[in-house]
């Protein structure tokens, strides 16, 4: 874990590294590849004004929800019955590996500005140290190019760019049933029932990927499967089923 120390005046800042580690990591994937070096949310840049990586991986999120819930109900009016189930997951994070891959290969919309130059808002290393060996930083004014190398070797390696809130509310299924009155059949048919069921018809979520509920690697990976890893998978499919039940 990186700790940073600087004087009361914000610039220049002096940086020191503390040897203490963070608390025990809870889950393996939550240690994403890299973190950007920063102090008070200001990036710590190298001598060229480019983003640097922290040396130690840190926990960025928790793939397990704070709580889950399900709401089911059955509503009936005369010969019409409506059943539904709504599932809820709150507080879980998702690693959007699909977006990371698209950034790497230049397919994500964020890469359309490649070739442009920017000045990162942060502190640039002067390449010198003070008497205690702390690196001296100053306000950054150096331009860097957002080229292919930047998106492949810097942006796509920064895990915090791809960990998102994966909370969701999903209509798991809804079934509408209609029972025809048996008196119409003069005791020849005891029951005639029509059903239509919709599955995964909609989901409410702020997650930018295809499906926050997706698991794409397999049940044997990392001990608990691939919960919370969206890596080039396919979303849950929507479906509509029709059925007729006939009894004599």
* Tens of pLDDT, residue by residue, the chain (248 residues): 232 333 333 333 333 332 233 333 333 333 333 455 555 567 889 899 998 887 777 888 888 899 999 999 999 999 999 999 999 999 999 999 899 999 999 999 999 988 899 999 888 988 898 888 888 888 899 999 999 999 999 898 888 899 999 999 999 999 999 988 877 667 777 788 899 999 999 999 999 998 998 765 554 454 455 788 888 878 888 999 999 888 77
Amino acid 9: pLDDT: 31
Residue with tokens 């699909």: 98
Amino acid 29: pLDDT: 36
Amino acid 218: pLDDT: 52
b/e map 140-178, b = 16+ CB within 10 Å? beeebebeeebbeebbbbbbebbbbbbbbebbbbebebe
Rounded Cα gap, residues 222 and 244, in angstroms? 44
End-to-end alpha-carbon separation of the chain, Å?
72
Amino acid 203: pLDDT: 94
Amino acid 246: pLDDT: 81
Query: Closest by alpha carbon to 181, among 172, 169, 194?
Result: 194
Amino acid 11: pLDDT: 31
Q: 136: which strand partners? A: 14
Amino acid 20: pLDDT: 32
Q: Phi-psi bin for 216: left (phi > 0), alpha (psi -120 to 50), beta?
A: alpha
Would you list the DSSP string of 161-226?
A: GTEEE--EEEEEEEEEEEEPPGGGGTTS-SEEEEEEEEES--EEE---SS-TT-B-S-TTTTTTTT
- Model pTM score: 0.70
């Amino acid at each position: 874990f990186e700790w940073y120390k600087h004087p009361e005046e914000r610039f220049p800042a002096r940086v020191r590294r503390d040897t203490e580690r963070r608390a025990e990591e809870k889950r393996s994937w939550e240690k994403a590849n890299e973190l950007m070096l920063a102090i008070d949310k200001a990036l710590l840049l190298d001598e060229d004004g480019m983003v640097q990586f922290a040396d130690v991986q840190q926990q960025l999120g928790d793939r397990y929800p704070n709580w889950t819930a399900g709401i089911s109900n059955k509503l009936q009016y005369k010969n019409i019955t409506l059943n539904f189930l709504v599932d809820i997951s709150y507080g879980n994070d998702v690693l959007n590996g699909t977006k990371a891959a698209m950034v790497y290969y230049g397919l994500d919309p964020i890469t359309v500005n490649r070739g442009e130059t920017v000045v990162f808002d942060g502190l640039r290393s002067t390449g010198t140290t003070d008497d205690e060996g702390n690196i001296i930083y100053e306000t950054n004014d150096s331009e860097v190019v957002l080229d292919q190398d930047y998106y492949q070797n810097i942006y796509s390696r920064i895990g915090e760019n791809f960990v998102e809130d994966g909370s969701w509310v999903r209509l798991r299924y809804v079934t509408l049933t209609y029972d025809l009155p048996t008196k119409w059949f003069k005791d020849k048919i005891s029951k005639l029932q029509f059903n239509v069921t919709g599955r995964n018809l909609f989901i409410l979520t702020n997650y930018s990927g295809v499906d926050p509920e997706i698991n794409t690697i397999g049940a044997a990976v990392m001990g608990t499967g691939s919960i919370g890893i969206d890596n080039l998978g396919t979303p849950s499919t929507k479906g509509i089923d029709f059925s007729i039940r006939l009894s004599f």
